Amino acid sequence: MDTDKKYAWSPLPTREDMLKSLETEHFDVLVIGGGATGTGVALDATSRALKTAMVEKYDFSCGTSSRSTKLIHGVVRYLQKAVFNLDLEQVYGSFWQHDDARMNIAIAISTARMGGSVANYMEVLELHKSKDENGKEVVSGARVKDRITDREFNIKAKCVINATGPYTDHIRLMGNKEDKKKLYLLPDYYR
């Protein structure tokens, strides 16, 4: 057996390795938010050979992404077409249910396996700006705080994507304090 070969089941980098990478490397893309949209964007960017970083303030898929109906939509209609005269009342189990949080974590792990740097419990404190080649001010990274160790550092990136769901305005207004709030959240009793 060739021990120099890297196999798909090789261990993932540790969280400390990920944090070191986030602090020292320059990324093509920084994704803020580790829900369904954020992990999907990070995986897509990584799969296109972009050097990608993703940070999440809490745990992956703990916000809106964890509050779906858990049903794979439309499955009943397709099952009825696939199985003639299927009586769904006779079907037991949970094959039509979907564990969205598990899928979200699997996508984050896939991003890490493909070379992306991902870390949860990383709070964005501020967005950094720099001038592009035309002299226009653009977001070029973020200052983050590790909520586990309280360590703060900067992440440098050519592009920053805000995938924070209901916290979109909080991050967006870091980049432009004169802008107005655009997203208004309803109280919990509407959920």
pLDDT digits (tens, 9 = 90+) for 39-95: 999 999 999 999 999 999 988 877 655 555 554 445 555 555 555 555 666 555 555
Please tell me the pTM assigned to this model: 0.74
- Whether pLDDT at 1 is above 50: no
pLDDT of residue 100: 74
Q: Which residues contact 123 (CB under 8 A, 6 or more apart)?
A: 57, 144, 145, 147
Confidence (pLDDT) at 71: 47
What tokens does 126 get? 């501020």
Domain membership of residue 128 (yes or no) is yes
Q: Report the candidate in 174, 169, 166, 181 with the shortest Cα–Cα distance to residue 144.
A: 174
Quick check: is 90 in a domain? no
The domain that holds 162 is classified in CATH as: 3.50.50.60
Torsion angles phi and psi, residue 188, rounded to 5: -60, -30
Residue 24 lies in a domain: yes
- Domain membership of residue 114 (yes or no) is yes
83 in any annotated domain: no
- The better pLDDT of the pair 180, 29 is held by 29
124 in a domain, yes or no? yes
Q: Domain range spanning residue 145?
A: 18-62+106-177
Sheet bearing 152-162, strands edge to edge: 117-119, 52-55, 26-32, 152-162, 137-146, 122-131
Is 101 inside a domain boundary? no
Torsional sign, CA 60, 174, 130, 125:
negative
Summarize pLDDT for 147-183 with one digit per residue, the tens: 999 999 999 999 999 998 877 777 877 767 666 666 5
Q: pLDDT tens-digit profile of 96-143?
A: 566 778 888 889 999 999 999 999 999 999 999 988 889 888 889 999
Number of domains in the chain: 1
Q: Determine, yes or no, domain membership for 13.
A: no
